[in-house]
Structure 1
Amino acid sequence: MDVLLEKLVKIKSISGEEENISNFIFDYLKDQGLTPIKQDGNVILHIKGNQNKALIFDAHIDTVEAGNVNKWEFPPSGQYSGKIKNGKLYGLGSSDNKSSVAVLMKLCKWVKENNPKWDVWFAFVVKEEVDGYGSKSFIKWLKSQYLEKYDDIQCVVCEPRGCKEVGLGNKGNIFVKIKIQGESGHSAKINEIEKQAILEGVKVIKKLNEIENKLKKKYFDSDLGFTTIAITGFEAVESSPNKIPGTCLISLDIRTIPETHEKIIDIIKDELMNFNLKFEWTYHSTQPVKTSKNSGIVKILKKIDPELKITYSSTNNDSCYFIKENIPTVVFGPGNKEQSHKENEFVNLKNLPICLGIFKKLVKGVEND
């Protein structure tokens, strides 16, 4: 698997630029005697069983940008990337998420050779790092043709968990900008300007901190924790050295729990009703989700390895799209989650065969459950 992962890491696959790695995965599976298909940029493999039940393995094939290349000890991608040192393979996406992709590529042939009772699906998906487009497209396609036939369906979304954790859910997120209107004018006549947008913005930020504290006192989820409101940007519009700007923007990253997701914007609007402002949604939002600890797939994984830790996350991944469709979904994989989106990203190579072994037992486990 080390050689396969090295080849994957060498292929640059930033979100929106996955064609080369998609073709590599497709050709590899065909060379193994399998029958993958292309689906809206994704590579999909369906291995049929003889029951109306299905197990899905989903892994994204895209990466974030490399960041400052000068900070990398080894090249993040390309001919000279994928270097191995002290049992670690270095390169962009090595942990997030190409180690998972390599494991699944090896798992595909094993599943085919072992004649599964359940249908097993492998989805190698695009654009997870941007907006989850690949998984959303795959689920929509799967619903249109297959989902109704299944009496039972379970899913593993592969993300870096170091083979030590099983993720069962995550907070929702809402990305929004608050546009604050004030009065503009020459900065030499500052005393004549009653409401300055920047000063109003400072007041809004203080008020947002108060709102977050109120929410923490009122709402708490035993698994996901509290709702948080992060200020991720503060900027003046049409500013110059001698002008008081009439508009400023505050960017928010709001992480929600089930009790607050649908009402959080209305709460904020009510608390800020005395300010002259507008809300602008900047990115797609996702709902908070949780898979039950009593789900069959969770019980099987805990039986395979009783030491696995159940975790929940403040960050999002593609599991939310499956859980939204009432598909019990866990997050698991060989990568090191602390290495995600960092320069000099690496993966501990010993985790790959461990993960492959767990996935083989999982395939057998769902059949016998």
Structure 2
Amino acid sequence: MEFATTWDEELRSFADELCRFETTAGNEAPAQEWLYDVLEDAGFETYRWEADAGTLAEHPSFPDDPAEIETANRPSVAGVLEFGDPEAGRTLVLNGHVDVVPPGTGWNGAPFEPRWADGELTARGAADMKCGLATCVFAARHLASSAQSLDGRIVVESVAGEEEGGIGAAAAALENPYPFSRDAAIVAEPTDCRPVTATEGSLMKRLRLEGRSAHAATRWHGESVLPRFERIRRAFEDLEAERGERVGHPLYEEFPIPWPVCFGRVEAGRWASSVADELTAEVRIGVAPGETVAEVEREFEERLGGVVAEDPFLESRPPEFERFSIQFEPAEIEADEPVVRAVQSAMEATGLEPTAPQGATYGADSRHYVRAGIPTVLFGPGSIEQAHFPEESIEWEEVLTAGETLTEAARSYLAA
């Protein structure tokens, strides 16, 4: 593999250094400044931008209040390499996000001190998605070192805030930071080196219930929120199952629950010796490609209304059910888009089985580019099963294969 022979050692060093930066939300700047310098030293024409909270507040993914969107000192950076006559060819974006989720517990070592063993790299962000970002950088460099008779551009982006709705990517999609247009993009999320053309959306809602407290010794005088919450939870799970049968999509037939509903956080009560009279729950609801967040929201609001109508106490104190945080609209492109065909052709050239496009039950920055009219496919090393997990790891051989494949995909796309 020519890519591995040329770049293995330098790519290892790059990925190791990048994983040492603790790029949790709001802390991306040091890594981005380092990467900006690396790109500049490697001969890229460099760009830097920060998102405007007011502009994002007008986007359906983000809260309406700009004060709730943290954008200050969260730069996104990019490097551009041009080939032949760039205006005569296509422009392809290779995109990755630099931010990571907090490491949490369950690690055998320090999450931001990379460990190498048995052909694997372990660190927070190794799979999601610093190694994917690294392959974008080195695929562009590899193509530049071997390109012949190509016209066009490769843009390598490192964006901030993907885990918070795609702050850097949304800004790049809404207000193009480059003096040229973009024809297509590949986002190097961990897809097990398979092309993903459809990503699921998600609705984030906060449920608040109010009951009536009483002393635990006479709890029959109170009105607990707990059984009422359980009825709502079961009603939502029933709707999840109904939607799984009713809302079909050919790329999601492999998933046991295609449009998951997850109550990820529940807090109830005030004191062990009192009837629980308040509850707050946060729920993430899956949205299928072809649906809108608003449509799915109405379905769950109606189901909640049905539970309330059967309980006079809830009718007297109606639950609050409001959006919070970030909403992810689903996204999808056609399987025959040139950028998808370029990825499949490259897979065949590098010994990977050129699989049909897949669907993913998570959201990604691809949706921002698709919404802006830029066909975007996901393809990268690593597994989503490692993302956000303790002891997050990635097989290095797969990283090298992804780098070779991204190089060939870019070559194929620009040569067409």
Q: How does 1:290-301 map to 2 (within 5 A)?
A: 290-301=332-343
Q: How does 1:300-319 map to 2 (within 5 A)?
A: 300-306=342-348, 307-309=353-355, 310-319=357-366
How many angstroms apart in 2 are the aligned matches of 1:87 and 1:144?
A: 38
Whether 1:219 aligns to 2:253 is no
Could you give the per-residue CA deviations for residues 104-132 of structure 1, whole angstroms, max 9, x where no partner exists?
A: 22234344554741232211111212321
- Whether contact under 8 Å (2:132, 2:188) holds in the other structure is yes
Could you give the per-residue CA deviations for residues 249-284 of structure 1, whole angstroms, max 9, x where no partner exists?
A: 232110111346432222222222214211121221
CA gap 1:250/1:33 in 2 versus in 1, 3 angstroms: closer
Where is the helix percentage greater, Structure 1 or Structure 2? 2
- Whether contact under 8 Å (2:292, 2:330) holds in the other structure is no
Whether 1:82 aligns to 2:114 is yes
Which consecutive unaligned segments of at least 5 residues does structure 2 have?
1-10, 51-74
CA gap 1:89/1:131 in 2 versus in 1, 3 angstroms: same
How many angstroms apart in 2 are the aligned matches of 1:160 and 1:277?
A: 39
Whether 1:255 aligns to 2:297 is no
SS in structure 1 opposite 2:250?
coil
Query: Residue 56 of structure 1 corresponds to which residue in structure 2?
Result: 93
- State the one-letter code of the partner of 2:373: N
Query: Residue 242 of structure 1 corresponds to which residue in structure 2?
Result: 273
SS in structure 2 opposite 1:68?
coil
How many angstroms apart in 2 are the aligned matches of 1:214 and 1:92?
A: 37
Query: Residue 279 of structure 1 corresponds to which residue in structure 2?
Result: 321
Residue 174 of structure 1: how far off its partner (Å): 0.6
Could you give the per-residue CA deviations for residues 264-322 of structure 1, whole angstroms, max 9, x where no partner exists?
A: 22222222221421112122111111121111111122122241332211111211211
- Whether contact under 8 Å (1:57, 1:123) holds in the other structure is yes
SS in structure 2 opposite 1:326?
coil
Query: Residue 172 of structure 1 corresponds to which residue in structure 2?
Result: 201
How many angstroms apart in 2 are the aligned matches of 1:351 and 1:52?
A: 30
Whether 1:327 aligns to 2:374 is yes
CA gap 1:192/1:281 in 2 versus in 1, 3 angstroms: same
- Whether contact under 8 Å (2:49, 2:177) holds in the other structure is no
- Whether contact under 8 Å (2:174, 2:372) holds in the other structure is no
Q: How does 1:126-275 map to 2 (within 5 A)?
A: 126-142=160-176, 146-147=180-181, 153-163=183-193, 165-193=194-222, 195-224=223-252, 226-237=258-269, 239-257=270-288, 258-259=290-291, 261-273=293-305, 274=309, 275=314
How many angstroms apart in 2 are the aligned matches of 1:155 and 1:13?
A: 23
CA gap 1:212/1:343 in 2 versus in 1, 3 angstroms: closer
Residue 206 of structure 1: how far off its partner (Å): 2.2
SS in structure 1 opposite 2:100?
coil
CA gap 1:223/1:52 in 2 versus in 1, 3 angstroms: same
- State the one-letter code of the partner of 2:241: N
How many angstroms apart in 1 are the aligned matches of 2:246 and 2:138?
A: 48
Which consecutive unaligned segments of at least 5 residues does structure 1 have?
none
CA gap 1:266/1:142 in 2 versus in 1, 3 angstroms: same
- Whether contact under 8 Å (1:82, 1:90) holds in the other structure is yes
Query: What is the TM-score with the length of structure 1 in the denominator?
Result: 0.88
- Whether contact under 8 Å (2:164, 2:326) holds in the other structure is no
Query: Residue 42 of structure 1 corresponds to which residue in structure 2?
Result: 76
How many angstroms apart in 1 are the aligned matches of 2:403 and 2:227?
A: 56
- Whether contact under 8 Å (1:47, 1:112) holds in the other structure is yes
CA gap 1:344/1:45 in 2 versus in 1, 3 angstroms: same
- State the one-letter code of the partner of 1:51: A
CA gap 1:187/1:260 in 2 versus in 1, 3 angstroms: farther
Q: How does 1:77-116 map to 2 (within 5 A)?
A: 77=112, 81-112=113-144, 114=147, 116=150
- Whether contact under 8 Å (1:154, 1:329) holds in the other structure is yes
Residue 143 of structure 1: how far off its partner (Å): 7.3
Q: What CA RMSD, in Å, does the superposition of the two structures yield over aligned residues?
A: 2.3
Query: Residue 23 of structure 2 corresponds to which residue in structure 1?
Result: 13
Whether 1:67 aligns to 2:98 is no
SS in structure 2 opposite 1:272?
helix
- State the one-letter code of the partner of 1:210: D
How many angstroms apart in 1 are the aligned matches of 2:185 and 2:166?
A: 16
SS in structure 1 opposite 2:88?
coil
- State the one-letter code of the partner of 2:414: E
Where is the strand percentage greater, Structure 1 or Structure 2? 1
CA gap 1:356/1:272 in 2 versus in 1, 3 angstroms: closer
Higher mean Cα deviation, 215-224 or 298-307?
215-224
- Whether contact under 8 Å (2:140, 2:407) holds in the other structure is no
How many angstroms apart in 1 are the aligned matches of 2:19 and 2:245?
A: 46
- State the one-letter code of the partner of 1:291: I
How many angstroms apart in 2 are the aligned matches of 1:243 and 1:327?
A: 56
Q: How does 1:329-348 map to 2 (within 5 A)?
A: 329-348=376-395
- State the one-letter code of the partner of 1:204: I
